[in-house]
Amino acid sequence: MTDPTGRPRPASLTELFVALTLLALQGFGGVLAVVQRELVERRQWLTREEFVEEWAVAQVMPGPNVINLGLMLGHRYFGLRGAAVAVAGLLAAPMVIVLLLAYGYSSLGDNPHVAGALRGMGAVAAGLIAATGIKLASALRAHPLGMAAVVAAGVATFVGIVVLRWPLAWVLLGVGGLSCVGTWFKLGARE
């Protein structure tokens, strides 16, 4: 189904619930890479630019980022009901699975094969998240700040988190704050 501007969107609360349940069930070691693949590339409910913008808000608000993103997406289509259905879709089925695993864990946790498989999946999941970032970088091409400032902000963020191990809140307030102020002036100059 498409909205008045011809963009794809979920037709019903049921479609929203099913889409997010299927998405959550594919998300081993974090759902983000799958969210980008499913919502941007496959279903095209969001463009890359929209995804990065919504993700920025989901990241800055407290709480689980993927839950926040789902909530905002559900709200956009169906208001409060959509927000509630999206959160339920992301959580219901995975919660049943994780509790079944917790129930059976005592007999599996010490097995070296199981521990090794978890390590292997963790390494792949790290790659999935990094690749998602690289793909989304193309959404920054037409950024109001211009390429040089965008790259500088990105490098400062990476160095702050990976090398200097600053708390996330500092990076968001410091580097993010500067970037937002700069963008505000550039947007003003355009108008």
Partner 1 sequence: MSITLTGADWLQFFAHFLLLSLLAVGGAITTAADMHRYLVDERHWLTDAQFSASIALAQAAPGPNVLFVAVMGWNVGLNAGGMGTAFLGVALAMLGSLIPSTTLTYLAARWGHANRELRGVRAFKQGMAPIVVALLIATGWILATGSSYHARDWPVWAIAVVSTLIVWRTRIHLLWLLGAGAFIGWMGWL
Return the residues of window 150-179 that contact partner 1 according to CB under 8 A. Answer: 150-151, 153-158, 161-162, 168-169, 171-172, 175-176, 179
Question: Binding residue for partner 1 (CB under 8 A) from 8, 15, 43, 76?
Answer: 76
Output the smallest distance, CB 44 to partner 1, in A: 14
Neighbours of 130 (CB within 10 A): 11
Q: Name the DSSP class of 168.
A: H
Only one of the segments 1-9, 11-19, 50-58 lies at the binding site for partner 1 (rule: CB under 8 A); that segment is 50-58
The reply to whether 39 sits near partner 1 by the rule CB under 8 A is: no
Question: Binding residue for partner 1 (CB under 8 A) from 19, 40, 46, 52?
Answer: 52
Q: Mapped to the 3 state alphabet, what secondary structure does 105-135 carry?
A: HHHHCCCHHHHHHHHHHHHHHHHHHHHHHHH
Question: Binding residue for partner 1 (CB under 8 A) from 13, 40, 71, 85?
Answer: 71
Q: Which of 88, 86, 80 is nearest to 45 (CA)?
A: 86
Give the count of residues interacting with partner 1 (CB under 8 A): 105
Output the smallest distance, CB 14 to partner 1, in A: 20
Q: Nearest 5 degrees, angle CA 20-CA 22-CA 25?
A: 105
Segment 105-144, which members bind partner 1 (CB under 8 A)?
Answer: 105, 109, 112-137, 139-140, 143-144
Output the smallest distance, CB 11 to partner 1, in A: 20
Plot region of 63 (φ>0 → left; ψ -120 to 50 → alpha; else → beta): left
Q: Are 175 and 153 in contact (CB under 8 A)?
A: yes
